[in-house]
Amino acid sequence: MAGALTVLMKDAIKPNLMQTLEGTPALVHAGPFANIAHGQSSIIADRIALKLADYVITESGFGRISAWKILRYQVPLLRVDPAGGGAGGHGARPQDARWRSEVVAGKPLASEYTEENVELVRKGLPNMARHIQNALKYGVNVVVAVNSFKDDKPAEVELVRQAAIEAGAMDAVVSTHWMDGGRGRSSWPRR
């Protein structure tokens, strides 16, 4: 079996040069699950990117182990000093007994997600704050991109932005790229 797997994987060591919808180059490497949970892009892809670009953004997974792996192993092997790090967070889910269905593509979202619900957003903030605190332990500057979607209300977005700064982020900027594409890029630095 090892031989068969080696044949299948022989080309997988080579990163794929892809592009975003707007034509920005992106190196994709290590399969669809490399950058979730506890993974990140490969050292090979980052080395190629560092030779081709003025700056490189490496997306790491959303768990603490991801930051630990990238800062403990990947950064020293690449011989780079990260200019900053990000912090992810996830919102809370309504606990109301009537909310039992999953979010399903093509079906409208529940009103808890489309109407202003600052308290629901507030419940998800400790997760983000913990990610910020963990990243700060490694001595990197943290910048939070607040991904704003069409149903997000200004009070909710500002709550997340302020909470990120209070938790120790160097800055927190609103990004509307989901709605606006490249026009949704933040104008950082903001303060």
When pLDDT is averaged across residues 106-119 and rounded to a whole number, the result is 84
Instruction: State the Cα–Cα distance between residues 85 and 69, nearest whole angstrom.
Output: 13
pLDDT tens figures, 28-44:
776 555 545 555 677 88
Which ranges constitute the DSSP H helices of the chain? 2-9, 43-52, 64-69, 75-78, 111-114, 118-136, 154-166, 177-180
pLDDT at 126 over 50: yes
Instruction: State the Cα–Cα distance between residues 163 and 118, nearest whole angstrom.
Output: 12
Largest CA distance in the chain: 57
Question: Around Cβ 51, how many Cβ atoms within 10 Å?
Answer: 8
Vertex 77: Cα angle to 73 and 83 (nearest 5): 80
Peptide bond into 189 cis (omega under 30): yes
DSSP state of 54: S
Tally DSSP H helices, then E strands, for the chain: 8, 4
Quick one: tokens of 50?
Answer: 């560092």
Rg (CA), the chain: 19
Q: What is the pTM of this model?
A: 0.70
Average pLDDT, the chain: 77
Least-confidence region, from 62-66, 96-100, 141-145: 96-100
For position 159, what pLDDT does the model report? Answer: 96
Question: Around Cβ 165, how many Cβ atoms within 10 Å?
Answer: 15
For position 20, what pLDDT does the model report? Answer: 78
Instruction: State the Cα–Cα distance between residues 139 and 13, nearest whole angstrom.
Output: 31
